[in-house]
């Protein structure tokens, strides 16, 4: 897979076919994982990055 992160998030298969990622929440999570691509990302870090000081009621389940 290939990912484009300059401008809107874009995803392509290895064959170059565009992959639609329609949900904003999924795009935000994917973009955050790409930023931290060099290793494992803890749920705590994802929660902080995605929601800051205003996480949902059960952020781990929301992830």
The model's pLDDT over 27-52, given as tens digits with 9 standing for 90+, comes to 999 999 999 988 999 999 999 999 99
Is the pTM higher than 0.85? The answer reads no
Length of the chain: 63
What is the pLDDT at residue 27? 93
Spatial separation of the C-alpha atoms in residues 18 and 53, rounded to whole Å: 34
Q: What is the pLDDT of residue 2?
A: 94
Domain ranges of the chain: 22-63
Mean pLDDT of the chain: 93
pLDDT band at 19 (very low <50, low <70, confident <90, very high): very high
């Amino acid at each position: 897979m290939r990912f484009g992160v300059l401008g809107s998030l874009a995803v392509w298969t290895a064959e170059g076919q565009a992959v639609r990622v329609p949900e904003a929440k999924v795009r935000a999570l994917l973009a955050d994982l790409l930023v931290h691509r060099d290793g494992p990302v803890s749920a705590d870090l994802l929660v902080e990055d995605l929601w800051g000081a205003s996480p949902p009621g059960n952020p781990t389940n929301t992830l």
